[in-house]
Structure 1
Amino acid sequence: MRIRLFQVEDTDQLNQIAVEAFSQFEHHYSDWQSLITAVGNMANLAQSAHLFVAEDDGKIVGGVALVPPNDNPNSHFDKTWTAIRMLVVSPEYRGKGIGKALTHTCLDHAKQSDVKTIGLHTSPIMEVALAMYQRMGFEKFKDIDPIFGVEYGVYKLEL
């Protein structure tokens, strides 16, 4: 498995993995169709973020976006923070450290860019991801308004 920058040829695979990764949460969201439409366009994040993919033997198995400071349209984050968005791993590849490796790629990239704080938002329903982020040192910064009926919080890590 290797992590590399997204290429336009990865679009369909990455978008499909994002949908597959979020599908386990379908019954939690009040407007699943709107959420999954946005999630299913994950590759569009490459227009405003560094988009990394995990590749195993030529197959995309995960991805994550790292939004630079001042470019994040999400008002949940301070403009000086960089932000991790849409960490996804194919369900059949979970438990192999891919999410952690993708997150470390984001942290390393942020450190090289002299960013002082990295943020993300996640939900308690995403138990595995939330526990991983907390083990990595992310601390809850604040609660935010629910997204399609699901509780979310902003977490940050000082680099």
Structure 2
Amino acid sequence: MDNKETFIRNATSSEHEIIGDLLVRAYSNLNGFPRKNEIPEYYNYLQNIGSITVNDSVELIIACNEHNKIMGAVVFFKSMELYGTDGIAPQQKNASGFRLLAVDEKFTGQGVGKKLCLECIERTRKLNHESLNIHSTKFMPIARKMYAKMGFERSEDLDFSKGDVYVYGYRLYL
């Protein structure tokens, strides 16, 4: 664990392109995850992630170091309507969600992902929601292990498939 301070804040519009690049790198580097040529619309979504923050209920949260270098990012949904997945997740009431958690490879192992998760948990508590919903895949074993340690429970009712990718649902009850 690095002793340097990590700052958590909402991204500015001038950082959206950098975050899009980070997301594309992170997801394309997942072992076995479909490549850009297999799901170009998904990678286009990642690259242009800032466009979803036009709605006040969606926040692009970043972790940065003391030099303001972006270490990781996550998309937080104050309500589930705009969560943007298949399955029942978008219909969940009294719940928040997060998606697309990614950490720059230069900063892995420094607790950046956990700090972003904790920020989403805190924001969910401030909204007085009863749960925080998330999704993961078999291609993300490190993230799934972290979620389990943080108290997220597998919620098969949130599962869905997107093409050949099976997506696992998780909930943290607050």
* TM-score (norm. length: structure 2): 0.83
Checking the alignment, whether the CA contact within 8 Å between 2:27 and 2:33 is kept in structure 1 is: no
Where does residue 168 of structure 2 map in the other structure? Answer: 153
Q: Distance in 2 between matches of 1:70 and 1:95?
A: 30
For the Cα contact (< 8 Å) 1:26–1:32, is it kept in 2? no
TM-score after normalising by structure 1: 0.90
Deviation at 1:70, TM superposition (A): 4.9
2:33 is matched with which residue? 28
Determine which structure has greater relative contact order: mean sequence separation of CA pairs < 8 Å that are 6+ residues apart, divided by chain length.
1
Residues 1:118 and 2:128 aligned together: no
Amino acid at match of 1:76: I
AA aligned to 1:32 is: I
In structure 2, stretches of 5+ residues that fail to align are 1-5
Moved over 3 A (4+): 73-76
Counterpart position of 1:45: 52
Over the matched positions of the two proteins, sequence identity in percent amounts to 22
List alignment gaps of at least 5 residues for structure 1. none
Look up the SS of the partner of 1:28 in the other structure.
coil
Q: For residue 147 of structure 2, what is the aligned residue in structure 1? A: 133
Partner AA of 1:40 in structure 2? Q
Structure 1 match to 2:101: 87
Alpha-carbon distance, 1:27 to partner: 4.1
User: How far does residue 124 in structure 1 lie from its aligned partner after superposition?
Assistant: 1.9
Contact map agreement 1:82 1:118 (CA 8 A) in 2: yes
Tell me which of 76, 79, 84 is aligned to 2:88: 76
The 5-angstrom pairing of residues 12-27 of structure 1 reads: 12-25=17-30, 27=32
Aligned mates of 2:124, 2:13 — CA distance in 1? 23
Asked if residue 59 in structure 1 is aligned to residue 64 in structure 2, the reply is no
Contact kept? 2:60, 2:74, Cα under 8 Å: yes
Distance in 2 between the 1:128 and 1:109 partners?
23
Amino acid at match of 1:100: K
Cα offset for 1:39? 1.6
Task: Give the conservation status (yes or no) of the 8 Å contact 1:72–1:83.
Answer: no
> Equivalents in 2 of 1:102, 1:73: separation in Å?
17
The equivalent residue for 2:14 is: 9
